[in-house]
Homo-oligomer: A and B are copies of this chain.
């Protein structure tokens, strides 16, 4: 089913109920909608959340770059929104998405590849795409 954006009045009313932290941010989890795989964790401000709900394409807030981060804008690895769900405290959001390609900047499908095992930290997946392919050569 294609994503249907709420209109502006509904979006504004929903975003008014979100509990952003002291930096104006909310934690966002991206999950592949059909497989259930957790892809990444990032942050959104009100503007990023509004853009995501309006366009159906996921936009985060980059804490390092201090600005909107339209996921896949450079790499092409976009996330199309399927459904968004606030938690009970309304200070975290789960994004059910359709991830094109890989979510992780290392070229892996998921960012959560460092398993804590009896023998130490074990990388359980390998990159599927070379970083140079994602971002070009320096």
The chain A residues found within 8 Å of chain B, CB to CB, are 4-7, 10, 13-14, 17, 27, 29, 31, 35-38, 40-41, 53, 83-90, 92-94, 104-106, 108, 111-121, 124
Contact indicator B88/A104 (Cβ below 8 Å)? yes
- A87's partner among B36, B41, B87 (CB-CB below 8 A) is B41
Copies in the complex: 2
Q: Which residues of B contact A41 (CB under 8 A)?
A: 27, 29, 87, 92
Known: A36-B36, A53-B116, A85-B116. 5 other contacts (CB 8 A): A6-B116, A6-B119, A10-B120, A85-B124, A88-B111
Which listed residue (B7, B13, B88, B118) contacts A118, Cβ 8 A? B7
